[in-house]
A and B are shown apart, each in its own frame.
Chain A
Amino acid sequence: MSEYRIQGNTGEWEVVIGLEVHAQVTSESKLFSGSSTGFGAEPNSHVSLVDAAMPGMLPVPNRECLRQAVRTGMAINAHINRWSRFDRKNYFYADLPQGYQISQLYHPIVGEGEIEVTLNEKDPDSAVKKIGIERIHVEQDAGKLMHDQHPTMSFVDLNRSGVALMEIVSRPDMRSPQEAGAYVKKLRSILRYVGSCDGNMEQGSMRADVNVSVRKPGGELGTRTETKNVNSIRFMMQAIEYEAQRQVDLIESGGTVVQETRLFDPNKMETRSMRSKEDAHDYRYFPDPDLLPVELDDAFLEECRASLPELPDAKRARYEAMGLTAYNAAVLTAEAETAFWFEDLLAEGVDAKQGSNWLMSELFGALNKLGKTLDESPVNPKQAAELLGLVADGTISGSIAKQVFEIMLETGQGAAAIVEEKGLKQTSDTGAIEAEIAKIMAANEDKVAEYRGGKDKLFGFFVGQTMKAMQGKANPQVINDLLKKMLG
């Protein structure tokens, strides 16, 4: 895809990147308890006695969380393991009430799969690269520690404790920060299409552990470091860049890279060693004896498959087949929100080409000006379809449609109502148009003569004058026909 190289004193270096993405599973309740996953609640209110690891409390798994992981696995053509198992990962920390995280080490629910990534998903000519997925497993999220509220204490809030996460582990197949960025974008898009994660990195619904090592191109793999919990694509790319350079500098100055956990500081744009996790490396994984193995039957798997939506790559191909340009098809499918919006528009009966052009120029333009995302659009697909329908059936012209759309954005009124109220309906009344044409011809006898003498270009002048006289509300086709007849 791209030849990303770091120039060192001893020559070129290649970066090897693998990502472990933690994605919060979309679910109402937690992975092993019936408490809510709702965001932003009072501290320790979305917590059950199970989440707080009170003595004698036991986990009971949430079907939906497993279902979402399986659907995600199916979306990346991964092997689904009918038999999987929860293990305990043992370590002590204040945000981990049980003293272990229930996770899957030995037998994950989803095995190998792959994701096709293009460096620029909006460029249909951009090369495609396959990034291997090693596994997806389901595990519990930890609680939250706050360090800045008290001089000598940290505070513990367990609201997130036990929320279901999918850990999506890639192969070390990426070779540049750009590839890593494109991979996460594509992964996020797939998760949103599938509906298994909202992909909201700002709220922490997705975060990445970034494994980076460097080597001489094609050489032996170097020692990797793991930078934990990076919560934006931009930060992740910066962390990779910094970390790769740091490792090259370290090796070239005679040092060795140690396998360790690091932290990215977005203010200083650097990674640093996380000493607090130093001796947490012996996790003593073993099968959770409170839980039996997970066994998925045919009916469960069939339902998962049947409920999968059309995925980005397939949708894109279908749009191209419908006559959309490759560019339009790529843009409309890159993000699930856009694709879903466009699908809703089509469902309202809008023509694909008309709809895609309008969406990409008019709607995106307007949202851009307003600084809003598609989710926050003041006009919904149904309202947009009403507007585009008025253009399609000749009620208003394209230029009037732009005016109407602006009013819609301002007032929230419906397109038909605006057209009615402002009298913007275009006329096909030949008598009225003929009368105006006659007036214009009378006032411009010289130009009529020139046109008749062969200066065809003047036809546009007459169209413009007529439209102006009709205050933009005449049907352009009717004007054309009448002008041709009357000018001879």
Chain B
Amino acid sequence: MTETAFPLKRGGADASGTLMSVDKDTVNKIARLSRIAINDAEADKMVGELNGILAWVEQLGEVDCTGVEPMTAVIPNKLRLRDDVVTDGDVRDKVLANAPAKEGSFFGVPKVIE
């Protein structure tokens, strides 16, 4: 394995003092929010990995960003607006072509009870 080019800080959570480390409950909560089913072993593994990565990215906390606006456009560019004209649609077959389950002209999903 090659040497790391930069001395990267690990475990920056306590140093920055603001962010807590991730526990298994949190991992399960994130998995639920992400709609990714995980089992216990996966959750355990993810706790370590996420903590490692998060501790590393938390070094950003040491950068003084006073008065800095978060970036919105990478390259100076203006949002173009479209004219209000119907130019698309009426492509039902294309829209439905790859559907895992379709019923007539509808997509089908497991019944939702509201």
Set B84, B95, B106: member contacting A29, Cβ < 8 A: B84
Residues in B with CB closer than 8 Å to A34 are: 82, 85-89
**Bound Cα distance A263, B86 (Å):** 35
Q: How close is A269's CB to chain B, nearest CB, in angstroms?
A: 18
Nearest CB of B to A138, in Å: 12
Please tell me if the beta carbons of B81 and A85 are within 8 angstroms of each other in the complex: no
Kindly count the residue-residue contacts between A and B in the assembled complex, taking CB atoms under 8 Å apart: 141
- Stretch with Cβ within 8 A of B (4 or more), from A11-19, A290-298, A457-465, A470-478: A290-298
Q: Cα distance A158–B94 when bound, in Å?
A: 13
In the bound complex, residues from chain B placing their C-beta under 8 Å from that of A29 are 82, 84-88
Contacts of B85 in A (CB 8 A): 28-29, 34
Contact, CB under 8 Å: B110 / A287: no
B35 touches A92 (CB 8 A): yes
A153 at the interface (CB under 8 A from B): yes
Residues of A within 8 A of B37 (CB): none
Smallest Cβ distance from A300 to chain B, in angstroms? 9
Shortest distance in angstroms between A83's beta carbon and chain B's nearest beta carbon?
A: 10
B84 touches A291 (CB 8 A): no
Within 8 A of A (CB), among B16-66: 32-33, 35
Complex Cα distance, B93 from A49, in Å, reads 11
Interface string of A199-224 (1 = CB under 8 A from B): 00000000000000000000000000
Size class of B's contact patch? Answer: 35 or more
Partner of A153, one of B77, B86, B109: B109
Choose among A45, A51, A61, A155 the residue with the greatest number of B CB atoms under 10 Å from its CB: A155
List the A side residues contacting B107 at CB < 8 Å: 44, 94, 155-156, 158
CB distance from A72 to the nearest CB of B (A): 16
**Contacts of A61 on B, CB cut-off 8 Å?**
79, 81-82
Q: How far is the CA of A234 from the CA of B101 in the complex (A)?
A: 39
Instruction: Verify B112–A282 contact, CB threshold 8 A.
Output: no
Within 8 A of A (CB), among B64-82: 72-73, 77-82
Among candidates B72, B88, B96, B103, residue contacting A155 with C-beta atoms closer than 8 Å:
B103
| Residue from A63, A65, A153 with most neighbouring chain B CB atoms (10 Å) | A153
Chain A residues near B111 (CB-CB < 8 A): 147, 150-154
- CB atoms of A48 and B83 under 8 A apart: no
> How far is A170 from B46 in the complex, measured between Cα atoms in Å?
43
> In residues 37-91 of chain A, which contact B (Cβ within 8 Å)?
42-52, 54, 60-66, 85
Q: Give the nearest-CB partner of A284 in chain B.
A: B33
Q: How far is the CA of A94 from the CA of B85 in the complex (A)?
A: 28
A427 at the interface (CB under 8 A from B): no
Binding site for B on A (CB under 8 A): 27-29, 33-36, 42-52, 54, 60-66, 85, 92, 94, 145-147, 149-158, 263, 274, 276, 279, 282, 284, 287, 291-295
Q: What are 27 of the A-B contact pairs (CB < 8 Å)? A: A29-B86, A36-B86, A36-B90, A42-B92, A45-B92, A46-B90, A48-B88, A48-B91, A49-B94, A49-B95, A60-B80, A62-B82, A63-B82, A63-B83, A63-B84, A149-B106, A150-B103, A150-B108, A150-B111, A151-B111, A153-B111, A154-B112, A156-B108, A158-B107, A279-B32, A292-B78, A295-B79
Counting from the closest, the 5 A-B pairs by CB-CB distance are A35-B89, A34-B87, A64-B84, A34-B88, A63-B81
Give me 6 other A-B pairs in contact (C-beta within 8 A), A33-B88, A45-B92, A152-B110 excluded.
A29-B86, A34-B89, A43-B105, A64-B84, A156-B109, A295-B78
